Amino acid sequence: MLNAAELTRRRNRVLGAIDKLTVADALAVMSAAMHELAEKEATDRPVAANDAEPFSVDLILEGEGEARRLKVDRDSEVRDFIHGLRGLLSISQIQIKCQERFGDRAPSSSSLYRYFDSLKYRRGDGGKRDE
């Protein structure tokens, strides 16, 4: 774990690197960087012969098959971009940003609604809304 001084130094370097970006682009960059770090950690981790559960950020839907996965799940760059904007913009605004950035690879609004709805079930709350 980093000490407070080192944490501050590294935070300032990251902020300096993304200083001229819009918030949406900065979040997309940070999300992609975090995904890359998680992937690197997963590949650097020694795997035991009896390691029954694989470690990867892409195994959320393991066992459901590629055909059943939502379009957003099949494109990690689009997924990471969307997660960077989640909570900051409406779904229709996210769809517009995706269309600008990814063109034909961008999911439709209805696909985004299905994706965000599916996240509720993955989280384990069964899609229940707070009362």
Given a cut of 60, is residue 61 above it in pLDDT?
A: no
Given a cut of 60, is residue 83 above it in pLDDT?
A: yes
Given a cut of 60, is residue 49 above it in pLDDT?
A: no
Closest CA to 79 of 48, 129, 44, 122: 122
Query: In whole angstroms, what is the distance from residue 122 CA to residue 25 CA?
Result: 26
Give the chain's mean pLDDT: 75
Question: How much is the pLDDT for 54?
Answer: 46
Instruction: Provide the residue count of the chain.
Output: 131
pTM of the model: 0.46
Question: How much is the pLDDT for 31?
Answer: 81
Contacts of 18 (CB under 8 A, 6+ apart): 25, 26, 29, 30
Given a cut of 70, is residue 89 above it in pLDDT?
A: yes
Structure-token pair, residue 98: 């995706």
Question: How much is the pLDDT for 42?
Answer: 67
Structure-token pair, residue 47: 């795997």
